[in-house]
Amino acid sequence: MKVYTSYFANGKKLHEAGIMMIGIALFPPKWFYGVSLQQVAPTYSILHEDTEERYVERFKNEVLAKVDPKEFIENVKTFSKGKDVALCCFEKPGDFCHRHLVADWLNEKLGLGVEEFGVKVSKNPHYIQGSLF
């Protein structure tokens, strides 16, 4: 099973690639009837932080610190039945989004190599996150 990140609007491309969407947004879109694993979603309060720095700090301390990454991935495997998955929320790939923090966390803790679906990475990537604010 390969784990990607993506956004809900990319659903058609993900489906065509045989990748299962798993929502990680606090409030998935009304049309989305797939699996949602909200234990790695930002809280309503975190979503309304004034700065990106404070958002990141709170998300890491209040959300990710309380989730066991091995258990999270086991849940993903259970729901996906071994299929490749994309952990999805709303923001476009270049915009600031908690899914990038989740990907970094999974890469750091489990060495999974989570990357954004459909985004080409150069040998010397220089990624600049957009701002949520």
pTM of the prediction? 0.87
How far is the C-alpha of 97 from the C-alpha of 91, rounded, in Å? 6
pLDDT tens-place string over residues 2-17: 999 999 999 999 999 9
Res 108: pLDDT:
96
Q: Looking at the predicted structure, is the pLDDT value of residue 127 above 60?
A: no
Distances in Å between the alpha carbon of 48 and those of 29, 56, 67? 19, 12, 21
Beta-carbon contacts of 82 under 8 Å, excluding residues fewer than 6 positions away, are 1
pLDDT tens-place string over residues 83-107: 999 999 999 998 999 999 999 999 9
